[in-house]
Amino acid sequence: MRLLILGTGWMAQQHARQFGNIEGVELAGAVDIEPSRVDELSDTYGIPNRFTSLEDALTWGKFDAAANITPDRIHHPTTMKLIAAGKPVLCEKPLAENYVKASEMADAAERAGIINMVNLTYRNVAPLQKAREMVLAGEIGAVKHVEASYLQSWLVSKFWGDWRTDPKWLWRLSRGHGSNGVLGDVGIHILDFASYGAGLDIEHVFCRLKTFDKAPDNRIGEYELDANDSFTMALDFTNGALGVVHASRWATGHLNELRLRIFGDRGGIEVVHNLKGSELKVCIGGNIEDALWKTLDSGSVPTNYQRFVDAVRSGVPAEPSFRHAAELQKVLDLAVVAAERRAELTTHADTQ
């Protein structure tokens, strides 16, 4: 399979490494509007064909699929062009800036009948996959309550660098520089972690967003620090279960950690994923009475990159699809409106 890498920012390095390690995959071309970035990525990973526009790459056309790693606002126009050319696409998250555009992308891919996936990276966590299997098999009974968190500490720790001086972090705090805050950055990840792990869709959402003061006049140079730092959500799932989902960049002691707890009427499951690794714990059967939790071996699972390649080769669609990501984007869009109105909203309503 000959792959085109569209966009050559830092995440493109991950795509190039992952796809480059899959047998039979050739990194055939790279695209970026900045020639120096194209050359740097191509020189590093031995990519022979280099382009400064997607139009030029499509005119060349000698690739079987594309990885779209452009900035968020560029996902929609570039992916639509790839779909029109009949090229399977693995797109970075979020699929688009809003539900309307994400839904257009899903509609177009489905009409064209092409393989489409979104790189929700935490699908690569084996304990999450195992947890979902157990829930769907009924091992914890009917799900009643779901709790999920995504905790980061880069606003209080310099582990990842100093956000006060590094544009890589400052732009994430500024709506004027294209950021939708922690909700837009990691909200889709933790919503997917929760709903996918529990095997449930989201029906209602209520959300609170918070932006804390971080500098004099909440500004550093050209960056107005007005994007949200923390959010809390209350959810209703389609089976009637309640959910609590939250995320923050102020979570001291948590560099990058996702946690999911799923409670049913016959057991409970907990998944933790952080920089140290992943763990799955369960409380089922006779252990319920004594509240004893057992750690399970979850094995390993294929990465999104491998599953995308397998899907392109076989022609059999794989998840997470554009449609799934669009539905998650609807929840994120509704969360913003819910925070503004201080009201609960339903996913069954049209989102404009």
Q: Which residues contact 17 (CB under 8 A, 6 or more apart)?
A: 45
Same-domain check for residues 212 and 243? yes
- DSSP letter at 319 equals S
Q: Round to whole Å and give the CA distance between 276 and 291.
A: 25
- Kindly compute the dihedral angle of the four CA atoms of residues 232, 238, 240, 244, in this order, to the nearest 10 degrees: -10
3-state SS assignment for residue 283 = strand
Ramachandran angles phi, psi of 93, nearest 5°? -85, 155
Mean pLDDT for 182-195 is 94
DSSP string, 222-257: TEE--S-SEEEEEEEETTS-EEEEEEES--TT-SEE
Same-domain check for residues 138 and 267? yes
Question: pLDDT tens digits for 288-342?
Answer: 999 999 999 999 999 999 999 999 999 999 999 999 999 999 999 999 999 999 8
Mean pLDDT for 213-236 is 96
Q: 257: how many CB neighbours lie within 10 A of its CB?
A: 17
Of the residues 121, 145, 167, the one at which a domain ends: 121
pTM over 0.85: yes
Q: How confident is the model at residue 72 (pLDDT cuts 50, 70, 90)?
A: confident
Predicted pLDDT at 349: 63
Same-domain check for residues 46 and 63? yes
**Whether pLDDT at 351 is above 60:** no
Mean pLDDT for 131-152 is 98
Tell me the pLDDT of the chain averaged across its residues: 95
High-pLDDT (> 70) share of the chain, %? 99
In a domain, 218, yes or no: yes
Same-domain check for residues 117 and 236? no
> For tokens 């889709």, what's the residue?
188
Same-domain check for residues 39 and 88? yes
- Total domains in the chain come to 2
Predicted pLDDT at 71: 85
The whole domain housing 186 covers 126-300
Q: How confident is the model at residue 15 (pLDDT cuts 50, 70, 90)?
A: very high
In a domain, 324, yes or no: no
Same-domain check for residues 146 and 272? yes
Question: pLDDT tens digits for 246-298?
Answer: 999 999 999 999 999 999 999 999 999 999 999 999 999 999 999 999 999 99
Predicted pLDDT at 178: 80
Same-domain check for residues 176 and 113? no
